[in-house]
Amino acid sequence: MKAKVHVMLKDGVLDPQGEAVRHALKGLGFGGVQGVRQGKVIELDLEDGTSEATIEEMCRKLLANTVIESYRIEVL
Amino acid sequence: MRAAVLVFPGSNCDRDLATAFRAAGFETEMVWHKETSLPDRVDLVGVPGGFSYGDYLRCGAIAANSPICRALKDHAERGGFVFGPCNGFQILAETGLLPGALLRNAGLKYICRTVGLKVATTDSVFTGAYAEGEEIQIPIAHHDGNYFADADTLDRLEGEDRVAFRYSDNPNGSARDIAGILSENRRVLGMMPHPERAADAGHGGTDGQRLFAHLTEALATA
């Protein structure tokens, strides 16, 4: 089985990289972009039957830093 | 007095830190990240600067989960002393030994220069040699030094007098100009600047030297 973990900076945490991307888009003429948040996607190739609780634990222990990031698990 | 300096793949200030510890009088051993225990009777553990594990995933995240960091946590929980500059601070934040996290610099650039730091508290074995409010010159060299914590945590740090150093002119967007913080028991210090790079006349500055010299004195009587 496969799962995708989406990790994003929490709302309220400044994302300077997202801001830089927004400025670059504006420079290309995409003036309508009001905000950009940049995150990451982690693809996991898992043993069949791995529980969502186990994936949660992976997120809490390593994949996301919950002080600054939120995560969303997508089991494929 | 005995010190240990942890070494991760990608550490690059481990020898600088060991040199500063030794110059201050610590018998110092290097400890590889795959070890599961620290040398016996270690008083102080240095978590060095660098780019542990290539900063993969998040700065310090993989190092914080390495075998030696289990022993580091036990050492800190027993009341042992820990000093983590730069990547060391990022690792200490990732282990949860210090609150908050280090984000990408607000200006997005890697910054390598000497900055002014204000000593925010003298109530620790690390900062006791300085005068409160004194400005010292210490180099920084980081891309992810923008200290972040929620408002409650920041209020608590300030209320408990746990901000060790503040930037005189904030280079990286850190909340409330924070450059370094102490643990609740005041025995763990994490800071983005590098006192070990200002600890010898050959470095071009010696403001960091007093931190190490005072550590030796304070630990000898602790």
Cβ-defined contact of B104 to A62 (cutoff 8 Å): no
Share of chain B above pLDDT 90, in %: 98
Q: Which chain B residue has the Cα nearest residue A13?
A: B148
Cβ-defined contact of A68 to B148 (cutoff 8 Å): yes
Q: Which chain B residue has the Cα nearest residue A58?
A: B65
For residue B81, what is the DSSP state?
Answer: E
Measure A7 CA to nearest chain B CA, in Å: 11
How many CB pairs (< 8 A) connect A and B?
37
Average pLDDT over residues A6-11: 96
pLDDT in tens, B9-47: 999 999 999 999 999 999 999 999 999 999 999 999 999
Number of domains in chain A: 1
What is the model's pLDDT at position A50?
Answer: 96
**B196 and B19 in contact (C-beta within 8 Å)?**
yes
Q: How many helices (H) and strands (E) does chain A have?
A: 2, 3
pLDDT in tens, B82-137: 999 999 999 999 999 999 999 999 999 999 999 999 999 999 999 999 999 999 99
Query: Is B187 exposed, middle or buried, given 0-12, 13-18 or 19+ CB atoms closer than 10 A?
Result: buried
CATH fold of B2-221, please? Rossmann fold (3.40.50)
Q: Which chain B residue has the Cα nearest residue A17?
A: B108
Q: Which of A5, A43, A67, A71 to mutate to test the interface with B (most CBs of B within 10 A)?
A: A67
Which position has the token pair 């791995």?
A: A50
**A67 and B148 in contact (C-beta within 8 Å)?**
yes
Q: In what helix (H) or strand (E) does residue B209 lie, and over which residues does it extend?
A: helix B209-221
Average pLDDT over residues B54-71: 96
Range of the domain at A42: 2-75
**B137 and B168 in contact (C-beta within 8 Å)?**
no
Helix (H, G, I), strand (E, B) or coil at B89: helix
What is the model's pLDDT at position B39?
Answer: 96
With an 8 Å Cβ cutoff, is B170 touching chain A? no
pLDDT in tens, A9-68: 999 898 988 999 999 999 999 999 999 999 999 999 999 999 999 999 999 999 999 999
The residue type at B126:
F
pLDDT band at residue B221 under the 50/70/90 scheme:
confident
Give the pairing type, strands B135-142 and B44-46: unpaired
- Where in chain B are the domains? 2-221
**A68 and A16 in contact (C-beta within 8 Å)?**
no
Maximum CA extent, chain A: 48
**B92 and B190 in contact (C-beta within 8 Å)?**
yes
Give A17-43 as a 3 state SS string: HHHHHHHHHHHCCCCCCCCCCCCEEEE
Mean predicted lDDT score pLDDT of chain B? 97
What is the model's pLDDT at position A14?
Answer: 87
Integer Cα distance of A66 and B61 in angstroms = 12
Cβ neighbour number for residue B118 with a 10 Å cutoff: 17
Region of poorest pLDDT, from B87-91, B178-182, B215-219: B215-219
- Residues of B belonging to the active site: 86, 194, 196
Integer Cα distance of B37 and A2 in angstroms = 36
The CATH number linked to A11 is 3.30.1280.10
Cβ-defined contact of A17 to B108 (cutoff 8 Å): yes
Which position has the token pair 């910054």?
A: B111
